[in-house]
Amino acid sequence: MDLIRPSADLRNHYSEISKLCRENRQPVYITVNGRGDTVLMGMTDFQQMQAELELLRTLADAEEDVRADRVAPIEDTFSDIRSRLLAGKAK
């Protein structure tokens, strides 16, 4: 069930709202004049969401590379990595 609180509760009951976000691991929707305005969530959940979004972006980029035929055989890729690592050790 969505947790919906008026914006005045941020000022008057911040600790309670913060605890709800952390313990329930659900966002709390803040309204202004009865309309949705802001969403609050715990830091851990926010960081997880950010990591998941970054992974999805990376996968979408990889999928586009495959569609555009910007791929190489895995053997070539590992050979390139080995060459770069060896070149770095020589410095």
- Here the CATH number for the domain that contains residue 32 is 3.40.1620.10
Domain count, the chain: 2
Nearest alpha-carbon partner for 7 in 35, 47, 48, 26: 35
pLDDT for 50-86, tens place per residue? Answer: 999 999 999 999 999 999 999 988 898 899 999 999 9
pLDDT the model gives residue 2: 83
Are 49 and 32 found together in one domain? Answer: no
Q: Are residues 35 and 63 in the same domain?
A: no
Question: What are the pLDDT digits (tens) for 11-44?
Answer: 999 999 999 999 999 999 999 999 999 999 999 9
Structural domain that includes position 80? 45-90
pLDDT computed for residue 69 by the predictor: 94
- Predicted local distance difference test score (pLDDT) of residue 49: 97
Q: How many CB atoms lie within 10 A of CB 15?
A: 7
